[in-house]
Amino acid sequence: MGNNLARKILAAHLVSGEMIAGKEIALRIDQTLTQDASGTTAYLQFEAIGIPRVRTEVSVSYVDHNMLQTGFENADDHRFLQSIAAKFGVYFSRPGNGICHQVHAERFAVPGKTLLGSDSHTPLCGGLGMIAIGAGGLDVAVAMGGDPFYLAMPKILGVKLTGKLQPWVSGKDVILELLRRLTVKGGVGKVVEYYGPGVATLDVIDRITITNMGAELGATTSVFPSDERTRVYLKAQNREETWLSLAADPEATYDEYLEIDLDTLEPLIAQPHSPDKVVKVSEVAGLAVQQVSVGSCTNSSYRDLSVVAHVLRGKSVHPGLSLTVSPGSRQVYTQVGRSGALADMIGAGARMLESACGPCIGMGMAPPSNSVAVRSFNRNFEGRSGTRDAKVYLASPETCAATAITGVITDPRTLGEYPTLVIPERFETNDALVIPPIEDSAEVEVIRGPNIKPLPRFTEIENTLSGEVILKVGDNITTDHISPAGTNVLPLRSNLPALAEFTFERVDKTFAARARAAGRSFVVGGTNYGQGSAREHAALAPRYLGVQAVLAISFARIHRANLVNFGVVPLLFANPEDYTSIAQGDQLEISLLREQLQAGEGVMVRNLTTGIEIKAHAPLSTREEEILLEGGLLSHIKRRSTTV
């Protein structure tokens, strides 16, 4: 019996624990990345840990989210990030260099290594044979300090690919097909590993699109073999020396299996407001569209934009819509400029944006009210675009380009023969906007603007929790619901008191005021609570406002870890039907929490309003239990350091 690739890489980095599904393991982390929306807090946390310099092989700080400088806040954050990177030995990718995942794949990703990033789409680099995992900023800060990353050993889902993609069908359609089959909850607790004869037919761009959007499955990560296609990609980036051949053993087994015949795939599209509401493009063709956007960390490569340029060449963007294009990196922008693709897109009427996340996170280019937008992005949650009543569809660059010239959702196969794309054997690899670590950083001054506030200090969790159910929500509540993105909120990520005012704003605009008035409170959720981004502020802000515990039917992996890291008790209903027995406004009480957690037989929650007692589970490892009871991971680290 052979080993699959995921288990091979995990085993090579195993620090402690048994590789049995569900058991806690600790992994050595080779590389980390942060982006500016999460990075300010992550580096404040690293600073608080008290380690003078990062202890990873490579750590990179990217600026790609908060790029709209309508006030001083984002510009101040950028200066802070650059100075603190110099202080602690971190590479700094300056504004304009590109989106973190695209740039990391181009310049830093190495097959067989582990990568931990404070962004949920970090698994993109799994397309080059890495184990790349998204996590909260505090977990990344701890990993930068040389400590391992802890997680429950995932199951390995083997996805066998056969056949070959047909013209006008791309990697985007592969992951949309997987989302159609598995839903946004189907990957929770799993690594998705791709194998089979179809793998060799996919270039790295298709692979990184697939692994990027594996995050929408709720998967821990996704991984492809590192093969000849990988070597060609790294050679084009002038990094062929980092290539390593990696694959599953011939007789490898998996915990679960699934097969996709690439020959039979058609262009697919995700309907509002979830990435798993997937249908064939042909089923919704003809729907009038007011905005098309190509870009994001998912589909902003040179090949993606080349396809768009070929479709647009000699044509005009339909007068009923606006087309925006965001190249994923400075390298991509430079290459489309030199190839003539940029002129084709501009000539057709495309609005070229900078190399940044931009519209994907609601930072500019919000669609018109009550409009339809088609985007090559990874998420279409309600309101994420910046327009609450916009209907956002997700599709491939091919479908986006076809739609842009017709004005209606269009199956790209109706355009005729697929264009012949010329991909450079070598890309220009100008790293002038990447500032490497400096050796002597003792005299570096960290520059802090007035928007950067100190971290809050949380005390040990109390043994009796009591308070009001300040909010009850349904299934698939995202971190966008809890701590929204957008132009008003993202600039406040380093200012928790101001940021907290927006908590649950898209669900209940009174939440922050009511939570402050209540003092101590609970939140009740349904299934897959906290899906979406890795933003730890979705746990940090509720804790700041007095939320002591969240009771849910199930949690998304990263958000559950973030709750523990900030001392918020994540509780699962022992009987999911008990969800209906708690109403918003009820008063709850948990007595002898410490003793109940240590006994490991469940936690009894008493509804003082109804007199009903509900049993909940708190499936915590011994380490997580200690962190939780001590008020969070930072408190735990500081206590540990004083006892060593």
Q: What is the DSSP letter of 172?
A: H
In whole angstroms, what separates CA 288 from the centre of its chain? 30
* Residue 577, C-beta contacts closer than 8 angstroms, at least 6 positions apart: none
* 383 in a structural domain: yes
pLDDT at position 388, please? 92
pLDDT at position 486, please? 86
* Structure tokens given for 214: 């594996």
| Phi, psi at 155, each rounded to 5° | -75, 155
Span between the terminal Cα atoms of the chain, in Å: 43
Verify that 256 and 281 share a domain, yes or no: no
pLDDT of residue 643 exceeding 60: no
CA atoms of 474 and 599, how far apart (whole Å): 30
pLDDT at position 548, please? 97
Q: What is the CATH number of the domain that holds 251?
A: 3.30.499.10
- Domain-terminating residue out of 264, 295, 311: 264
* 435 in a structural domain: no
Q: What is the number of structural domains in the chain?
A: 3
CA atoms of 523 and 556, how far apart (whole Å): 15
Under a CB-based contact definition with an 8 Å cutoff, are residues 140 and 117 in contact?
yes
Please state the rounded mean pLDDT for residues 298-311: 97
Verify that 216 and 279 share a domain, yes or no: no
Q: What is the CATH number of the domain that holds 520?
A: 3.20.19.10
Under a CB-based contact definition with an 8 Å cutoff, are residues 535 and 38 in contact?
yes
* Structure tokens given for 301: 């490569």
- Domain-terminating residue out of 398, 415, 432: 415
- List pLDDT tens digits, range 25-77: 999 999 999 999 999 999 999 999 999 999 999 999 999 998 888 899 999 99
Verify that 67 and 104 share a domain, yes or no: yes
Please state the rounded mean pLDDT for residues 271-290: 98
Burial class (CB in 10 A: 0-12, 13-18, 19+), 334: middle
- List pLDDT tens digits, range 111-150: 999 999 999 999 999 999 999 999 999 999 999 999 999 9
The neighbour count for residue 578, using CB atoms within 10 Å, is: 18
CA-closest candidate to residue 5, choices 314, 250, 331, 346 = 250
* 420 in a structural domain: no
pLDDT at position 431, please? 96
CA atoms of 253 and 436, how far apart (whole Å): 41
pLDDT band of residue 443 (cuts 50, 70, 90) is: confident
Q: Angle between the 330-339 and 100-107 helix axes, to the nearest 10 degrees?
A: 80
CA-closest candidate to residue 362, choices 277, 293, 308, 272 = 293
CA atoms of 151 and 560, how far apart (whole Å): 11
| Residue carrying the six token digits 């200012």 | 495
CA atoms of 290 and 321, how far apart (whole Å): 4
pLDDT at position 641, please? 65
* Structure tokens given for 485: 């993105």
Q: Which of 182-186, 483-487, 524-528 has the lowest mean pLDDT?
A: 483-487
The neighbour count for residue 514, using CB atoms within 10 Å, is: 16
- Helix, strand and coil content of the chain, in percent to the nearest 5, comes to 35, 20, 45
Verify that 61 and 199 share a domain, yes or no: yes
The neighbour count for residue 340, using CB atoms within 10 Å, is: 13
- List pLDDT tens digits, range 380-402: 999 999 999 999 999 999 999 99
Verify that 199 and 149 share a domain, yes or no: yes
* 291 in a structural domain: yes
Q: Tell me the three-class secondary structure of 575-603, residue by residue.
A: CHHHHHHCCCCCEEEECCHHHHHHHCCCE
Q: Which of 394-408, 430-444, 510-524, 604-618 has the lowest mean pLDDT?
A: 430-444
* 454 in a structural domain: no
Secondary element (H or E) of residue 186? none
* 315 in a structural domain: yes
CA atoms of 129 and 207, how far apart (whole Å): 10
Secondary element (H or E) of residue 133? strand 131-134
pLDDT of residue 644 exceeding 50: no
Which positions are catalytic? 64-65, 119, 379, 533, 535
pLDDT of residue 472 exceeding 50: yes
Q: What is the DSSP letter of 2?
A: B
- List pLDDT tens digits, range 599-624: 989 999 999 999 999 999 999 999 99
Share of the chain above pLDDT 70, in %: 99
pLDDT band of residue 243 (cuts 50, 70, 90) is: very high
The neighbour count for residue 508, using CB atoms within 10 Å, is: 17
pLDDT at position 83, please? 97
pLDDT of residue 638 exceeding 60: yes
Beta bridge partners of 408: 288
The neighbour count for residue 203, using CB atoms within 10 Å, is: 18
Verify that 202 and 91 share a domain, yes or no: yes
- List pLDDT tens digits, range 252-265: 999 999 999 999 99
Please state the rounded mean pLDDT for residues 431-435: 97
CA atoms of 310 and 341, how far apart (whole Å): 7
- Domain-terminating residue out of 235, 264, 293: 264
Say which amino acid occupies 202: L
* 185 in a structural domain: yes
Burial letters 227-257, b for 16+ CB under 10 A, else e: bebbbbbbebbebeebbeebbbeeebebeee
pLDDT at position 519, please? 95
Verify that 228 and 132 share a domain, yes or no: yes
* 59 in a structural domain: yes
Verify that 470 and 349 share a domain, yes or no: no
pLDDT band of residue 488 (cuts 50, 70, 90) is: confident
Average pLDDT, the chain: 96
Which domain does 90 fall in, by range? Answer: 5-264
pLDDT band of residue 642 (cuts 50, 70, 90) is: low
Verify that 96 and 126 share a domain, yes or no: yes
Verify that 353 and 306 share a domain, yes or no: yes
**CA-to-CA dists, residue 181 to 126, 176, 268, 392, 570, angstroms:** 21, 9, 13, 20, 28
pLDDT of residue 2 exceeding 90: no
Q: Which of 25-29, 160-164, 449-453 has the lowest mean pLDDT?
A: 449-453
Under a CB-based contact definition with an 8 Å cutoff, are residues 587 and 609 in contact?
yes
pLDDT band of residue 565 (cuts 50, 70, 90) is: very high
What is the biggest distance separating any 2 CA atoms in the chain, rounded to whole angstroms?
A: 72
Verify that 255 and 312 share a domain, yes or no: no
pTM: 0.96
Verify that 118 and 146 share a domain, yes or no: yes
